[in-house]
Structure 1
């Protein structure tokens, strides 16, 4: 089902990248709750989600915590991937702003999980955390980034069954539609959940793309906003008009996605379903997986139900529709 998106512009003011802007050590930072505009409910027992932000950034992080652990497949695309871990089994996934510096948030999640296990470090006690980041400095005038303390705070805020959406968590200063950054709009993080018999699927995404967001009718609903006539145009029209001219700089983007299902899949099937879903997202974000993006999708399974009737291709098709809903949810 399509999601409604307000027509009001939400222009992202480009950063001047002035030297000497405040960084973490220059400010008395305190992690804050990052609730967004609401949340999407989901029913996957044992899966928790938490967010936290530094208002001084503004920037934040989002943690998906699976205490029992979950097999994981990773699909990373584009020319600017920022990721740590990338394990095939995880107890938590941490998405953060702050580009490469924001990878510290995932280290904070690891530290918190170690403390929760009374500092036990036997091989089978190790808690695996993978992280991925977006470049969100483009639309703010600080060098503040999600650090270990913010990662710990997001994990401590994690609750079961609710995924915060909007301009929150890792999507706090995310933006989309950057053919020219002067036409970019704030985006955010979104989520969608579906139940198909015994099969359950959650897809959530942080949209910080070069591309603009497209609805199911083919209309541009966020990004590439032309203030002179109040229109959002498909990036293809602008790129066609620029042929032969110097291309504008649109460095520093990325869309981060997590898919969690309860369906038992082999390692090969899990990876292929993840790839199928990631590929499908080009319908909702155009262009996608560019040289200036660092798109990453983590596909997790809790291995709870063995459904012979649900083939991987069918599951991927259903999850792909949820992924489109999640993209639209991110920019409402």
Structure 2
């Protein structure tokens, strides 16, 4: 027995000695996020307002692109939640549903990255403790709540997600009274209108209104299956099908279902996972029942600005926060407050829509030399599952995706001819804008601009 025990001890000791060397020599995974640098409080258009109690920080990984938005309060506040749709992803919402009349919420975190992005909410909670805002004692435990959107799939060629590092950086960069509208934070790679094949770029939107001492704010990350609808019923953003009649409205699309989704449509196959995650904040004191009903009323109203809304493919969640800084204004009853905030929320929905990329058109360009075309050729790696092979054949460029997925309109089973633009740029004709740039040696940039996807030549 002693001999056996001695042998086991020797084996364990040897294993312990080998472990550090093995770990040090282990290769870095090809899609590791270890070297990504957070970009903080950038992008979109700044909405400014005066509310010291509410600080906001945004962070993104431009390589995704994807991001996170952190709402931090000056002290613990009262919260409620209303969950709609068929696929919500949340942290700590069940606790809010207990409706305790006790301020508990320190922060609300909205994030991209689908299920992987949920770690951003707990990361903000630990940052609150690590930075001394909460001690960890039973009466001072940090509570952050959060929700995610699905920003993967055909819209980008990698699976980078908002992680703990990004969330804590955004939390520590939070400042009062500034929110980024458009393609920023959690809305960095949002998309709307897939129900009608629109595939329009979206983002996050905020709006603020003050009446006397009453302050109200609405924030939303619009990644909806439905289309964003202007107040006059027109479509706020969509890559329209060429067969649609001129001046088509959301009402036209809805009234002509299911035909409006069929004729002439070229939608991307595969599951659709879309979500609108939102937050309303009011500075008046409210009890849990009032705050919960406010959440329901405002969330219901969002069906005006997004059509259709709260489908099986959506994971819609709305948080309602009362900071409890003032008593309820005289003469303002709760249904009126709900109607008022509902109107502000529609503004927030519309403010989420960024400027859409223009559809490129053929232009007359000088022939590109064989020498230059040769420098464009090669295999460009976007991630472990998407590589684009570019070839020069008879003075024309062709692209073909290799790996598990196609690259937008660049298929895996056939070569796609690239049409020349100018200055090292090409495009692929179709319903959805698709531009390819070879301007930087050794890189292929698809859709240059704020939604760029960059592949490195191997």
The two structures have a TM-score, normalised by structure 1, of: 0.87
> Deviations 1:224-257 (Å, cap 9, x if unpaired)?
6224568665342563206899x96552110011
> Deviations 1:130-161 (Å, cap 9, x if unpaired)?
01000000311111111111110110110001
User: Does structure 1 residue 63 correspond to structure 2 residue 95?
Assistant: no
Q: Which residue of 2 aligns with 1:262?
A: 283
Question: SS where residue 124 of structure 1 aligns?
Answer: coil
Offset at residue 120 of structure 1 (A) = 2.6
Q: Which residue of 2 aligns with 1:159?
A: 175
C-alpha distance 250-180 of structure 1, shift in aligned 2 (>3 A): farther
Question: SS where residue 108 of structure 1 aligns?
Answer: helix
Offset at residue 123 of structure 1 (A) = 1.0
Q: Which residue of 1 aligns with 2:79?
A: 72
C-alpha distance 302-118 of structure 1, shift in aligned 2 (>3 A): closer
Q: Where do 5+ consecutive residues of structure 2 fail to align?
A: 1-28, 97-103, 355-458
Separation of aligned partners in 1, 2:234 and 2:178: 29
Paired residues in the alignment total: 310
User: Does structure 1 residue 306 correspond to structure 2 residue 327?
Assistant: yes
Residue pair 2:196, 2:226 contacting (<8 A) in 1 also: no
> Deviations 1:111-133 (Å, cap 9, x if unpaired)?
21111118731112211000100
C-alpha distance 119-219 of structure 1, shift in aligned 2 (>3 A): closer
Residue pair 2:276, 2:314 contacting (<8 A) in 1 also: yes
Greater relative contact order (Cα < 8 A, sep 6+): 1
Q: Which residue of 1 aligns with 2:341?
A: 319
User: Does structure 1 residue 207 correspond to structure 2 residue 222?
Assistant: yes
Offset at residue 329 of structure 1 (A) = 0.3
Separation of aligned partners in 2, 1:270 and 1:126: 23
Structure whose alpha-carbon radius of gyration is higher: 2
Q: Which residue of 2 aligns with 1:275?
A: 296
Mapping 1:98-109, distance limit 5 Å: 98-109=113-124
The two structures have a TM-score, normalised by structure 2, of: 0.64
Residue pair 1:38, 1:166 contacting (<8 A) in 2 also: yes
C-alpha distance 122-284 of structure 1, shift in aligned 2 (>3 A): same
Residue pair 1:184, 1:225 contacting (<8 A) in 2 also: no
Offset at residue 56 of structure 1 (A) = 1.2
306-315 vs 89-98, which deviates more? 306-315
C-alpha distance 142-233 of structure 1, shift in aligned 2 (>3 A): farther
Residue pair 1:225, 1:232 contacting (<8 A) in 2 also: no
Of 259, 266, 277, which aligns to 1:241? 259
Q: Which residue of 1 aligns with 2:131?
A: 116
Q: Where do 5+ consecutive residues of structure 1 fail to align?
A: 1-20
